Structure 1
Amino acid sequence: MSEQNAVSNPAPIIDMAGLHEIANGVWIIPDQHRIPLVPNLGIIEGERSVLVVDTGMGRENARKVLDKAREIAKGRPLFLTLTHFHPEHGFGHQVFAGEATILYNRRQRDELRAKGPGYLDMFRGFGEHVAKCLVDVQFVDPDLVYDGRLTMELGGRAVELIEMGPAHSMGDQVVWLPEEKVVFVGDLVETGVFPIVPFFPPDDADVNGNKWIRVLRRIAALGPKTVVTGHGDIGGIELIQIAERYLADMGRQVGALKDSGVAEDDVVARLEPVIRGRHPDWREPNWVESGIRCFYATGYDADAVETAP
């Protein structure tokens, strides 16, 4: 999710011209113009079938992705999965219904059922460009759900779907290609963007900074060489490490101030300008405040974080 400046930015339309391979048969439709609400998307080929990772926001974007996936697949069956349910990543999934086998982890499906309509209403308020993308969006259930971990055999290529939430959302998952050491992480990691902490109490407060840090360590332990972020440039394992350090530093600072009796608003006032100042080139600094408030609400669990696998 990346909506903070959506009202004043160009329409969040995917540009298919950026399509390219990052490994043999592993295609990326990148967030090349850095437009808010345009994510990095993937199409992964196997000898027998093809997996699409995320749809973009709305029917128009999803149709472009589906058309390109069909072109690449050349008649092979299609699958669709989402890194998480947020609108710019998955609110085009209805286009794939009947055209591909849709599969999510159970938490992601349940989160979409519970929160999808509310997020649709919220995002439609982000300006006419976004609202236009979300015209006639409908929600459909996946064809298959899994718990924990699922290995897909696409034909000559194994792809692992690994449930990671709750972190950025309840149903986060990563898409891991063990042979190629490529991982799609969704909004668990961004490049050049402040970590997106969707802490919106009382409507949605499921994001968990402590567990997010642990999740980042789990992903790093896979040993990825290529990290496909939710938004921004694709890179190596250092992108995961940057996100982990950011969240851990924020958590420690917030925890120390809270433990010393500083009120929440005063913690925000003290820390927000300092944290923004450390990353002057990062986009969407409004996410700093929500991150601070998230850690203030949950506390910083140093024992759990430091002993994370």
Structure 2
Amino acid sequence: MCVVDLGSGSAGAADAANARNTAGAESALPDVSDAPPPVVRGEPVEVAEGVFVIPDGRVPLVPNIGIVVGERAALVIDTGLGPCNGAYVLEQARRLAGDRPLYLTITHFHPEHGFGAQAFKGAATIVYNRAQRDELRRKGAGYLAMFAGLSPQLAAGLDGVTLVDPDVVYDGYAEIDLGGHTAVLRGVGPAHTTSDQTVLVDGQVLFTGDLVETRMFPIAPYFPPHDTDVDGAAWIDVLDRLSAIEAEIVVPGHGEVGDGALIREVRGYLAYVRDEVERLRAAGVSVDDAVVVIDRDARARWSTWDNPEWIGFAVRAWYAAAG
């Protein structure tokens, strides 16, 4: 039985220090100590025929979960954070799919997207691209410790996590015929991570993972020396390719479901950070001073967006990439 602590609480000094030391970040990690528990809840919403989303409700560290139900099989996209969320997602998938065989894939290896996969082991065929599997093996244990150190709620949600290898590994792209629905899994990293994956259903519904968020500053996981693989320039290139698909429905990693405008909005922000970093570096502005300037101006320009704490991480990543 899964029990999740729904109370609030703050990470103590030891927990916060452990998180920073594990990440090796140059600045404090985002503070999620007052955030609601990262619990996947609610019923799946049908966004297209046979394509369902369990909405994140704009709760931090809860992703949008996809379930695609075909005539012969069903595909689950992302699991939520920890075994309890994974079990809930599996329950919802079984409710929709009945006794059809299940597949599971994840958009990228980060804990809130894939650290519930153990609930699916033996119940579904788990499919990752090779880079996802390799990145999970390299970084999974470090991210588990880092996230557990961010707050007692996250530590509770991650209790008992086992990192799960896929049953099937692909290179490039994989096509899954579910019967009446076809899902194309494609590795598109490096960008947000080295192994980002998109899922395109019937050429119409695009699951982007954290390449796209709705009214949120995109997460730039720049945590030197623990993880410096975020690639802003490649991220922009990926978004250009995703825009060219002209999907009717875009399911972001976090935030409300939308259309291609979501992709263009995130691309515009990343291009703004890129251009401002180039301008400020050319003027001899230090990275710390550039963080102040770009953070201030981006908050004003995208005043309705959540999670502005990620602006500084993006600036530092772009400065580091520029040498």
Shorter-chain TM-score: what band?
A: over 0.9
SS state of the match for residue 189, structure 1? strand
C-alpha contact (below 8 Å) 2:181/2:202 kept by paired residues: no
Task: Report whether the alignment pairs 1:295 with 2:318.
Answer: yes
Which residue of the partner structure matches residue 254 of structure 2? 231
How far residue 262 of structure 1 moved from its aligned partner, in angstroms, is 1.9
Deviations 1:45-95, CA, capped at 9 Å, x for gaps:
111110000000001111011011112111110000000000000000011
How far residue 16 of structure 1 moved from its aligned partner, in angstroms, is 2.2
Task: Report whether the alignment pairs 1:128 with 2:115.
Answer: no
C-alpha distance in structure 2 between counterparts of 1:54 and 1:271, whole Å: 32
- The answer to which of 252-261 and 23-32 deviates more is 252-261
Which residue of the partner structure matches residue 157 of structure 1? 181
The TM-score, its normalising length taken from structure 1, stands at 0.93
In the TM superposition, 1:159-308 aligns within 5 A as 159-179=183-203, 181-299=204-322
- The answer to which of 264-273 and 89-98 deviates more is 264-273
How far residue 37 of structure 1 moved from its aligned partner, in angstroms, is 0.5
Deviations 1:159-194, CA, capped at 9 Å, x for gaps:
100111000001100000134x10000100001111
User: Structure 1: which amino acid aligns with 2:255?
Assistant: G
Which residue of the partner structure matches residue 304 of structure 1? none
Which of 2, 11, 20 is equivalent to 2:45? 20
How far residue 133 of structure 1 moved from its aligned partner, in angstroms, is 0.4
Task: Report whether the alignment pairs 1:110 with 2:144.
Answer: no
How far residue 6 of structure 1 moved from its aligned partner, in angstroms, is 2.1
Which residue of the partner structure matches residue 66 of structure 1? 90
How far residue 276 of structure 1 moved from its aligned partner, in angstroms, is 1.4
SS state of the match for residue 118, structure 2? helix
C-alpha distance in structure 2 between counterparts of 1:279 and 1:198, whole Å: 20
C-alpha distance in structure 1 between counterparts of 2:230 and 2:267, whole Å: 15
C-alpha distance in structure 2 between counterparts of 1:266 and 1:23, whole Å: 46
Task: Report whether the alignment pairs 1:85 with 2:109.
Answer: yes
SS state of the match for residue 141, structure 2? helix
Task: Report whether the alignment pairs 1:4 with 2:27.
Answer: no
How far residue 271 of structure 1 moved from its aligned partner, in angstroms, is 1.7
How far residue 4 of structure 1 moved from its aligned partner, in angstroms, is 2.9
C-alpha contact (below 8 Å) 1:163/1:173 kept by paired residues: yes
How far residue 261 of structure 1 moved from its aligned partner, in angstroms, is 2.3
C-alpha distance in structure 2 between counterparts of 1:67 and 1:56, whole Å: 13
Percent identity over paired residues:
48
C-alpha distance in structure 1 between counterparts of 2:242 and 2:290, whole Å: 30
How far residue 281 of structure 1 moved from its aligned partner, in angstroms, is 1.8
How far residue 145 of structure 1 moved from its aligned partner, in angstroms, is 0.7
SS state of the match for residue 270, structure 1? helix
The TM-score, its normalising length taken from structure 2, stands at 0.89
SS state of the match for residue 254, structure 2? coil
How far residue 259 of structure 1 moved from its aligned partner, in angstroms, is 2.6
How far residue 269 of structure 1 moved from its aligned partner, in angstroms, is 2.2
SS state of the match for residue 273, structure 1? helix
Which residue of the partner structure matches residue 31 of structure 1? 56
SS state of the match for residue 281, structure 1? coil
C-alpha distance in structure 2 between counterparts of 1:298 and 1:137, whole Å: 33
Kindly tell me the number of residue pairs found equivalent between the two proteins. 295
User: Structure 1: which amino acid aligns with 2:34?
Assistant: S
Structure 1 unaligned blocks of 5 or more: 301-309
C-alpha contact (below 8 Å) 2:213/2:253 kept by paired residues: yes
How far residue 12 of structure 1 moved from its aligned partner, in angstroms, is 0.7
User: Structure 1: which amino acid aligns with 2:162?
Assistant: Q
SS state of the match for residue 150, structure 1? strand
- The answer to which of 279-288 and 159-168 deviates more is 279-288
C-alpha distance in structure 2 between counterparts of 1:251 and 1:211, whole Å: 11
How far residue 15 of structure 1 moved from its aligned partner, in angstroms, is 1.2
User: Structure 1: which amino acid aligns with 2:144?
Assistant: L
Which residue of the partner structure matches residue 303 of structure 1? none
Which residue of the partner structure matches residue 11 of structure 2? none
